[in-house]
Chain A
Amino acid sequence: DQQVKQNSPSLSVQEGRISILNCDYTNSMFDYFLWYKKYPAEGPTFLISISSIKDKNEDGRFTVFLNKSAKHLSLHIVPSQPGDSAVYFCAASALSGTYKYIFGTGTRLKVLA
């Protein structure tokens, strides 16, 4: 049972345009969400996070939006750059329980020059 879902396995975007990566979750106990970026042969690196008390968090070109009622979050990258080409994972955790981070299956973003 996949508690965190990224339904788009891949996405191609033209350089300079907006990239929107989506993530859905099923567990209403999740209250903290993160996005990670992963290059080939490397481990994921933390990108941006959002707590459930917020609906938006912005860091430079990266903005994460959270819609709790829809159990949906998205990562916006504006403007997209070729160096953003990577696999993006969303992750969720809950303060209750064992604080395990549950990851989605990832979306491969390709930014075309």
Chain B
Amino acid sequence: GAGVSQSPRYKVAKRGRDVALRCDSISGHVTLYWYRQTLGQGSEVLTYSQSDAQRDKSGRPSGRFSAERPERSVSTLKIQRTEQGDSAVYLCASSSPGTLNSPLHFGNGTRLTVT
């Protein structure tokens, strides 16, 4: 379909290793978010970008998280030196340009488990 897709669906990483999660957003969508969803703590915004080919560093929670957009509709979330507390579902979402408050379209997420 033409929705937001994320890969891999599941990822297991050893603590201390770097991981990269991919998001293919909807063609034409400019604004892209990465959220981290943990049980009982809701969804936390990790990075946000409103233009293409931009590297974002949200500073949340400690600057280990960054996103790159090698192509307009592709984003890669990079997590450096993973910690066990990084175990969560990572959701990518995009929205169409033109309307400031366009609803977000979410992917199905990548479940990361840090061992």
- Say how far A81's CB is from chain B's closest CB, in angstroms: 22
B43's nearest neighbour on chain A, judged by CB, is: A103
- Distance in angstroms between the alpha carbons of A106 and B40 in the assembled complex: 8
User: Is B40 in contact with A105, judged by CB distance below 8 angstroms?
Assistant: yes
CB–CB A99/B106 < 8 A:
no
- Of the candidates B35, B42, B107, the one whose C-beta lies within 8 Å of that of A106 is B42
Within the complex, what minimum Cβ distance (angstroms) separates A38 from chain B?
Answer: 8
A69 surroundings in chain B (CB, below 8 A): none
Q: B21 to chain A: which residues have CB within 8 Å?
A: none
List the A side residues contacting B50 at CB < 8 Å.
98-99
Interface size on A, residues (CB 8 A): 27
* A 8-51 binary contact with B (CB < 8 Å = 1; else 0): 01000000000000000000000010101000011111100101
Nearest residue, chain B, Cβ from A101: B104
Say if the beta carbon of B2 comes within 8 Å of chain A.
Answer: no
Chain B residue numbers with a CB within 8 Å of A78 are none
Q: Which of B31, B42, B100, B101 is within 8 Å of A89, CB to CB?
A: B42
How far, in angstroms, from A98 to B42 measured CA to CA in the complex? Answer: 20
Which residues of chain A are within 8 angstroms of B31 by Cβ–Cβ distance?
A: 99
28 contacts between A and B (CB under 8 A): A2-B42, A4-B42, A36-B104, A36-B106, A41-B108, A42-B108, A43-B106, A43-B107, A43-B108, A44-B91, A45-B106, A49-B101, A51-B101, A89-B42, A89-B43, A91-B104, A93-B101, A95-B101, A98-B50, A99-B31, A99-B48, A99-B50, A100-B45, A101-B45, A101-B93, A103-B42, A105-B40, A105-B41
Q: Which residues does B use to contact A, with CB under 8 Å?
A: 4, 31, 33, 35, 40-43, 45, 48, 50, 91, 93, 100-101, 103-109
